[in-house]
Structure 1
Amino acid sequence: MLLDASLTGTDDPATTARELEERGYAGVWASEVAQDPFLVLHAAALGTSRVSVGSAIAVAFARSPMTLAYTGYDLQRYSRGRFVLGLGTQIQAHVERRFSMPWSAPAARMREYVGALRAIWASWTDGVPLRFRGEHYRHTLMTPMFTPARHEWGPPPVHLAAVGPLMTRLAGEVADGLLAHSFTTERYLRERTLPALQEGLATAGRTRAQVQVSLPGFVVTGRDDAERARAAAAVRGQIAFYGSTPAYRPVLELHGWGALGDELHALSTSRREDKWQAMADLVDDEVLGTFAVVAEPAGVGPALLSRFDGLVDRFSVYPGTGVPLDVLDPTVAALT
């Protein structure tokens, strides 16, 4: 199992990525939250020579497949073959009201989106005429002036973010990787995610070895009680935030915590000034320990291997918990 890290929120991605590479991390990821992930990853690629650099995630439906095809192809060239194009759908409200883009059944649209990307790349790398005609996307014009020069690394691998069974099966059918959501558990991965992935693989006649599974998971650790308490508070808040979203309710229901999801959702839509703290307070130690690895620094690596080895191929610590990099050095050593 490889250990990755997040660049989300960094002001100097080239320096941060270089430090992570020197510390032994296998890859770095940038998310589309409050910054453009591709600008971050471009800087990270130029500042490193070994680590993979990937988007986890970029919002596919906010962009034309043609726009993203150019971006992905260029970043694969700039990174010398180390770029991973990780895509997600976002939710309807954000696609329509934040990005002002059309929304439709996400799994069907994403299937077509990946097909469009691959058709565009094939026209550049193999000289295949561009004749992609789908329900949502049509790409039928590519002239020499707008055709990028071929490069030795070719198009990037495409990874898809998934929580529910439809998107997970789709990843097994058409993607090179699956980006599991942070709001997951070992049991949900074993009983829901991987069986759905295997169904998609079987449909396409593929094997598990052809799809890399990545998980940005929660970790609570620290050098002393104060650091661990801060990390635990941050993770409780994030679990509460995700748990309040109806789309993620099946994860809670699997563990018999559907009522917790109802309470979190009700609080999230209330006018209480202290609602976010009240939500975090509902995440007790049992829930915390199910969603997060809670351990001393030296125990994080063994705990991750015990929980996820054989289930996921790559693990990265969810950003925003405030755990200093040096605290995770034993984890890097245990997973490399």
Structure 2
Amino acid sequence: TVSKPPIYVAGVGPKLVNVVGEVADGFFVHPFHTADYVINETLPELAKGAKTAGRSAEEVVVACLTIVAMGRNDEEVARARTKAAAQLAFYGSTPAYSGVLDFHGYENLQPELNRLSKQGEWLKMTQNIDDDLIDLLCISGTPSEVGVQLRERNTFADRSTMMFYGPPPDIEAIEETISAAQS
């Protein structure tokens, strides 16, 4: 007998998140997020959907995709943060993700990034992502620093997945990160 595979759905907007809470086994938090946004905006919608289905929100597994800018030294971390900023600029240009920026007071950034993307101004887009915004939307540092930040940031999640930007981490770096996250 083949068992039913669990169904996880990724989503951003409140309507979709609500439906996920109602019918899915798990929810993938989009990587363009902050813990505050997820806790205050996303999880309440997930809970509403679960309640509609007569179940607890805790029955829906929350899996968090997290943007990570990691390196072994300051130079590698800085390069990784620049690569992460480019990805954040791309995500930030997408109208569907504007809620995260709006929630944190960056209401004017999404339209500007969108305008620049339509003009192919990718470098200018990245230059609009300052250090404060990088710190808000991703975690960065050495492997052990990233592990601690992952543990402290994703307290709302049942599972965390790291999306690395910068030099590909070696096995030792991944082991160090996971060890720090689990300690």
Distance 2:166 2:18 in 1: 31
Unaligned residue ranges in structure 1 (runs of 5+): 1-149
Greater RCO (Cα-Cα under 8 Å, separation 6 or more): 2
Task: Measure the CA separation in 2 of the matches of 1:260 and 1:223.
Answer: 31
- Given that 2:147 and 2:178 are in contact with CA atoms closer than 8 Å, whether structure 1 keeps it comes out as yes
**Residues 81-100 of structure 1: pairs in structure 2 closer than 5 A:** none
Give the equivalent residue in structure 1 for 2:125. 279
- Secondary structure (helix, strand or coil) at the match of 1:226 reads helix
Partner SS state of residue 161, structure 1:
strand
**Deviation readout 1:89-148 (Å, 9 max, x if unpaired):** xxxxxxxxxxxxxxxxxxxxxxxxxxxxxxxxxxxxxxxxxxxxxxxxxxxxxxxxxxxx
> How many Å apart are 1:295 and its aligned residue?
2.5
> For residues 30-179 of structure 1, what are the structure 2 equivalents within 5 Å?
150-151=1-2, 154-179=3-28
- Distance in 1 (CA, whole Å) between partners of 2:51 and 2:95 is 29
Contact 2:86 2:126 in 1 (8 A): yes
Contact 1:227/1:323, CA 8 A, preserved across alignment: no
1:251 counterpart (100, 114, 125): 100
| Partner secondary structure for residue 5 of structure 2 | coil
Q: CA deviation at 1:320?
A: 4.6
Given the two structures, how large is their TM-score scaled by the length of structure 2? 0.93
The 5-angstrom pairing of residues 178-197 of structure 1 reads: 178-197=27-46
> Take 1:170 and 1:321, find their aligned partners in 2: how far apart are those partners?
35
Once residues 248 and 299 of structure 1 are traced to their aligned partners in structure 2, the CA distance between those partners, rounded to angstroms, is 27
Deviations 1:220-258 (A, max 9, x none): 221112311221111000000010011111110001101
Find the counterpart in structure 2 of residue 306 from structure 1.
152
RMSD: 1.4
2:54 paired with 1:205:
yes
Deviation at 1:316, TM superposition (A): 1.0
SS class of match (1:294): strand
Unaligned runs of 5+ in 2: none
2:63 aligned to 180, 189, 214, which one? 214
On the 8 A contact 2:70/2:165 being kept in 1, the answer is no
Q: After TM superposition, where is structure 1 displaced by more than 4 Å over at least 4 residues in a row?
A: none
Structure 2: how far apart are the matches of 1:181 and 1:231?
20
- After TM superposition, list the pairs within 5 Å mapping 1:8-27 onto structure 2: none
Whether 1:329 and 2:175 are equivalent positions in the alignment is yes
CA distance in 1, matches of 2:181, 2:76: 23
In structure 1, the partner of 2:119 is: 270
Secondary structure class of the residue paired with 1:183: coil
For the pair shown, the structure with the greater C-alpha radius of gyration is: 1
Deviates more, 1:294-303 or 1:161-170: 294-303
Measured against aligned partners, the alpha-carbon deviations of 1:41-79 in whole angstroms (never above 9, x if no partner) come to xxxxxxxxxxxxxxxxxxxxxxxxxxxxxxxxxxxxxxx
* 1:318 matches 2:170: no
Q: How far off is 1:297 after superposition?
A: 1.9
Contact 1:231 1:323 in 2 (8 A): no
Q: Percent identity?
A: 38
SS of the counterpart of 1:318? strand
Residue in 2 aligned with 1:100?
none
Match for residue 293 of structure 1? Answer: 139
